[in-house]
Amino acid sequence: MKIRTLALLALCLLVACSDGNDDSRGTNIEQSVRALVAQMTLEDKIAQMAGEGSVLLPEGEQFWTVPGVERLGLPPFKMADGPRGVGTVEGATTFPVGMARGATWDPQLEQRVGAAIGRELRAAGGNVLLAPTINNLRHPSWGRSQETYGEDVHHLARMAVAFVRGVQEYALANPKHYAANSIEDTRFQVNVTIDERTLREVYLPQFRAAVIEGKAASLMSAYNSVNAQFCGENEQLLRQILKTDWGFDGFVLSDWVLGTQSTLGSALNGLDLEMPVARFYGDNLLAAVTDGRVPESVIDEAVSRMVRKKLEFGLDRPSGLDVSEIGSKAHLALARDVAVNGSVLLQNNGGVLPLSASAHPRIVVAGALADMPNTGDSGSSDTRPTFVVTPLQGIEELFGDMVTIDHIGKDVLNPADLARVQAADAVIVVTGLTAADEGEGLIGAGDRLELGLSAQRTQLIRDAAAVNDRTIVVLEGGGAITMGDWLADIEALLMVWYPGQMGGYAIADLLFGEANPSGKLPITFPASLEQLPPFDNESLEVTYQYFHGYRYVDRNDSTPEFPFGFGLSYTSFAIERLRASQIQAGAGDVVRFSVDVKNTGTRAGAEVVQLYVNYPGSVVPRAERELMGFARVFLEPGETQTVEIPLAVNRLAYYDVTQGAWVLEGLQHEVRLGTSSRDLPLSIMLSVAAQQDVSVE
């Protein structure tokens, strides 16, 4: 055994030192993969194609394990969730949820989050992170809305690539759930029917980007079926699109337990690894290979994919990281920064925010959530932070010696409470949703069929607003919340999502003006449920249409409560002088749009410039406006910067189902820029020459 291990180490060293260029390194890895797989018995190989252990992670265990081959020096995979931090590691940093991070519109920051989580995972001894969740949010009723980044496929793709790159500085990322997993309560059985164009344009591009640009090492298949084939054995999704069209060289693992539905179908159609334990693989797969129903070449391919990633990521070598990484000061500071940048100021009548100690010396902080740790779902994305800074703690710790804080920690206010609220210079009502309202199906609260707040929490806001005309609502939750008429009763509204373990500090900083809000909604906040497509979490047959989110609201000409891309600041910005590097373009061109952004207010702050395209005269139904680029810019008061947003023309193509190809239309495209999907003051026409069969990768 020792000799083999040494032989492998020597081989790896050779690979690491031979360097030259990526190609030669790649060739060497491929040679090593072949050499290693050739030394494995069929039993060795089959053992690597399923997790070992039990359905539930036993108490005290941090990772799900997939065996390696010890005598060949091949280490096991050690997997942990998840999307807001390393879930099963005590004290790992709890970041704001994916939706909050989506609201930063800041891929660079997201890459740092990915890197921090990857580092903590590796330091704890893990090597595969079961994240990011990148399902397109078809409807905010989805119980796991909080885990993903939003409802727009371009924005999702940018955030997904960033997170994957960050994680993969240290460990393997596992974007999930491939694909069209956006209903919780029927997730194990539902069949999602999607036409090919919708699938390719709306539900897959972020996975394509994670694979091709992000070089994701692995992917998790979804529980549901797509077009009548379970995702864990879906020939079109796994074999054709992922492994052939996109050239994915990593491995696919199933979602837990019910994510694998067969031995033959799964193995033949491209599921490389059954998790968390062998049910259809293991002995069943061994028998299928032995009696010729599954060719051994299929097994070799699956195992090669996993071995390749073990070698590429150097999983056989010590990480050099120690446990001081876990919940480190630097990571906690990052979590706080992200919570600041992901909070969205939705209303600020009369500039009531930021609060100041001189104008508002007596403040009431009200609501059952004010002093409650509220970091999100209790399902698989749950984490184990050693502490959580609640909004009340954040306010008290940072501003408690400047203002008098009166805490009313409940949702039902009696006359005495109301008298306290009335006597205050301002009231901060902390409310929203918790893990009891939304989350993963079966192990969490599942889908959320009503988008409004509970009657009790609505009443809390109304009661406070009735006696205090400086009512500020801090809203927590993982997705869109409908406001109803209480919105008109309050002065300010700050959407903070589930802001992570440092959220309380971020909220305090934002409310008191130590930080300036700059988040933008990554989803539409509709005025009512009726403005959205139907959400059916009972039927086992659903159809996903081409339009959802802002594209649906725009198409129906509805007026949402707050549009996609919207968010206020304590300062003001002017954007002017839109120009393009060219106004006639063709396939393969990248057109650069630039605009001057000026901070016209008195505080430093960040703005997110957004570029949308519309397609007048298209032969297929298209979005009224579609996000195609964005850039975040930080400006001191009075400062102007030129912001450039590139647009790869091929991305304007639609998927032509009859040809099975991407087609660029010969159109005058209207390119519009502004600061939300409904505030696009600048526009320019871009004439594009028609071209059949363009590459969008």
Point out the residues that are catalytic.
255
Q: Which is nearer to ligand BGC, 444 or 605 (CB)?
A: 444
SS3 280: coil
* Cα–Cα dist 114/116, whole Å: 5
- Cite the beta strand spans of 466-509 per DSSP E: 471-476, 492-495
CA dihedral sign of residues 326, 430, 553, 630 = negative
Eight-state DSSP code of residue 492:
E
Smallest Cα–Cα separation from 205: which of 161, 147, 255? 161
Q: How many CA atoms lie within 13 A of 61 on its CB side?
A: 15
Contact 65, 465 (CB under 8 A): no
Q: How far apart are CA 229 and CA 237, in angstroms?
A: 9
Tell me which DSSP letter residue 646 carries: E
Nearer to ligand BGC, 64 or 630 (CB): 64
How many residues of this chain interact with ligand BGC, rule: CB under 6 A? 7
Positions 228 through 267 that interact with ligand BGC (CB under 6 A) = 255-256
Single out the residue of 44, 81, 337, 438 in contact with ligand BGC (rule: CB under 6 A). Answer: 81
Q: Which residue in 264, 320, 253, 255 sits closest to 291, CA to CA?
A: 264
When CB distances to ligand BGC are compared, the closest residue is: 380
As measured in angstroms, the least distance from the Cβ of 254 to ligand BGC is 10
Q: How far is the CB of 533 from ligand BGC (least distance, A)?
A: 23
> How near is the Cβ of 407 to ligand BGC at its closest, in Å?
36
Contact between 78 and ligand BGC by CB under 6 A: the answer reads no
Instruction: Please pick, from the candidates 141, 269, 341, 380, the single residue that binds ligand BGC as defined by CB under 6 A.
Output: 380
Closer of 211 and 364 to ligand BGC (Cβ): 211
How wide is the angle at C-alpha 664 spanned by C-alphas 662 and 665, nearest 5°? 135
Compare residues 130 and 162 and give the one whose CB is closer to ligand BGC: 130
The two three-digit tokens of residue 68, written as one number? 């390696």
Q: Which of residues 166-225 bind ligand BGC (CB under 6 A)?
A: 176
Report 285-344 residues binding ligand BGC (CB under 6 A). none
Listed in order, strand segments (DSSP E) in 20-178 are 64-66, 77-80, 128-129, 172-173
Please say which residue, 155 or 177, places its beta carbon nearer to ligand BGC.
177
Nearest to ligand BGC of 256, 546 (CB atom): 256
- Cα end-to-end span (Å), the chain: 44
Judge whether 102 and 522 are in contact, CB under 8 Å.
Answer: yes
Least distance from ligand BGC to the Cβ atom of residue 381, Å: 7
DSSP string computed for 552-614: HHHHTT---SB-TT--B-SS-EEEEEEEES-SEE-TT-EEEEEEEEEE-SSS-EEEEEEEEEE
Of 411 and 440, nearer to ligand BGC (C-beta) is: 440
Applying CB under 6 A, does 396 fall inside the site for ligand BGC?
A: no
Q: How far is the CB of 660 from ligand BGC (least distance, A)?
A: 31
CB of 139 to ligand BGC, least distance (A): 18
The count of other CB atoms within 10 Å of the CB of residue 28 is: 20
One symbol per residue from 94 to 133: x for binding ligand BGC (CB under 6 A), - otherwise; what is it?
A: ------------------------------------x---
Shortest distance, position 79 Cβ to ligand BGC, whole Å: 8
Which residues are at the interface with ligand BGC (CB under 6 A)? 81-82, 130, 176, 255-256, 380
